[in-house]
Amino acid sequence: MLSKPKVAAILLTVAAVAAMLLPFVSATLLTVGLGGIAFAAGLGQFLRLNDAEGTAAKLFLALSGLLYCGAAIWVLIDPIDSEISLTLFAGVLLLVNGVMELAAGASGAGPAKGLVVIDGLITSLLGLFLVLEWPSDSLWALGTLFSVGLFMTALNLFRAEQATPPAA
């Protein structure tokens, strides 16, 4: 009988392969999903208006709710342009994160110092490539990165399942 983690790992692997084969579709679905999450966050801000005390707090919640919902509507109306913007954001985020990891690895001490530097170098290069190739990489990059993330999660579940001793 298959355990729940093994079933989840198999499903994640299937999703990762599908996302890798159809990176544009997976990137668009990811972008639309983020738009839906942003819209829900905006509605949440509006629902908190009654509990806010003071005009400044109510104004902040209303403005942030409008910002979330406005951005979500823009994403949902034009997911392709949103995907292009999101790819640039991901590239800059990876580049900054990689540089920070390089600095942490170079200034730190410990047994994992070399791994932190390697991780920072790879992350920086990935971010740099995304930024340099933008916007031409926008139609496949997010979907490919998403599929790699799904696959790594599946591998971790398989490894955790193998490391867990069988129940008595």
* Secondary structure of 54-107 as H, E, C letters: CHHHHHHHHHHHHHHHHHHHHHHHCHHHHHHHHHHHHHHHHHHHHHHHHHHHHH
* Number of neighbours of residue 75 by Cβ within 10 angstroms: 23
pLDDT tens-place values along the chain, 168 residues long: 788 888 999 999 999 999 999 989 998 999 999 999 999 999 999 999 999 899 999 999 999 999 999 999 999 999 988 999 989 999 999 999 999 989 988 887 777 788 888 888 998 999 999 999 888 888 788 888 889 888 888 888 888 777 777 666
Return d(Cα 33, Cα 28) in angstroms, integer: 8
Q: Tell me if the pTM is above 0.75.
A: no
